Amino acid sequence: MARVQTVLPTPAELAILNVLWDLGEATVDDVVKNQRSRPNYKTVQTVLRIMEEKGFVRHSTRGRVFVFEPCVSRKQVGKRSVRKLLAQTFGGSPIEMMINFLEAAPLSEDEVSQLESLIQDYKRGRKKHA
């Protein structure tokens, strides 16, 4: 039985999850064909089995073929990744993380406007729930 997922996927697992998120479901062969690096079939099969044990994917059987689907969403993995980055790198400070983000990847005026709009929406949402 798969355990409850609390850890982040490894880079290899994330590459497989990206294929599954894009396709919705896939066989081992589909995963191999949809990765740029064209990993070895047996390697992908092994990683999928490990991912299933970790609770990242599940499989069903169609004839003699296993079809895998994700058990976690991009959004879930993204949130976990940000939380880990925030805690490990920025001492839990969202402000420090945003400053570093903005300094590392300068935004266009349009992107700044979009970010300002998102912040305003966030503020309004917090006031409604306060």
What is the residue-wise DSSP string for 25-68? SB-HHHHHHTSTT---HHHHHHHHHHHHHHTSEEEEEETTEEEE
Task: Return the domain boundaries, the chain.
Answer: 11-70, 74-129
The pLDDT-based confidence of 101 (bands split at 50, 70, 90) is confident
CB atoms within 10 A of CB 28: 22
The single-letter code of the amino acid at 94 is P
Q: Is 70 helix (H, G, I), strand (E, B) or coil?
A: strand
High-pLDDT (> 70) share of the chain, %: 92
Domain 11-70 part of CATH 1.10.10.10: yes
The pLDDT-based confidence of 127 (bands split at 50, 70, 90) is low
Q: Render pLDDT for 62-79 as a digit per residue (tens, 0 to 9).
A: 999 999 999 999 999 999
